Copies of this chain bind each other. A is one copy, B any other.
Amino acid sequence: METPQERRDRRRAEKRQAIRTAAVKIALDQGLEAATVEAISAAADISPRTFFNYFSVKEEALVMEPLWRPEEFTGLLAARPDDEPAFESLKAVARILAARVGPIWADARLFGELRRRHPELAAKVRAADETKLMEDVFAAVRDRPGVSGKLHARLLVIGTFGATISAVQEAAESGGSVEELLEEALTLLENGL
């Protein structure tokens, strides 16, 4: 059975996807210029005002659902044992996140072309929270074993983020396995570039 709340959530998610699809289609067919909120709403058969009930920024409709939400990342990190060395914890979290790519891989391919043409889209969407997230994660990593200072904490976080993103990107381009590429990247970081 499905509770009413679940039904609402599911419908909402479906509609969100439908709007996304309409948006991406327009951007690919007619150029990013043509993908105005008005045009997207018309194609998705909703009012422009409703568009903003689903996406808080236009560009959000033009990129993949993110692999992680900021709150979540710190949560995953906090769930690791307190005495685990920082790098081990970060690696574990990176593996969890990389594993999520699988289910939405088709998605990833759908958005690939658009992202190739307009790499600034993703950056714009995440600009808002990414930097704040980094700061939070730095703070969380600092107090873990195996961290020699704030500079070390920063590099660990940037490195692990970077490894995850690179692995996913690389997999998308060359068709390799995300998991294997991630391990390769993490090993490079661990042993020195």
Contact = CB atoms under 8 A, between A and B. Distances in A.
Majority-rule SS of A interface residues: helix
Given A154-B162, A193-B152, A123 B119 contact: no
A193 B187 CA distance: 10
A174 interface: yes
Interface string A151-191: 11011101100110111011001100000010011001111
Given A166-B158, A181-B151, A127 B123 contact: yes
A132 B119 contact: yes
A69 B102 CA distance: 36
B151 A184 contact: yes
Interface residues on A, range: 35 or more
Nearest to A134: B119
B120 A132 contact: yes
18 contacts: A119-B132, A123-B123, A123-B126, A124-B128, A150-B170, A150-B173, A151-B166, A151-B167, A151-B181, A151-B184, A154-B185, A155-B185, A155-B193, A156-B193, A158-B158, A159-B159, A162-B162, A189-B192
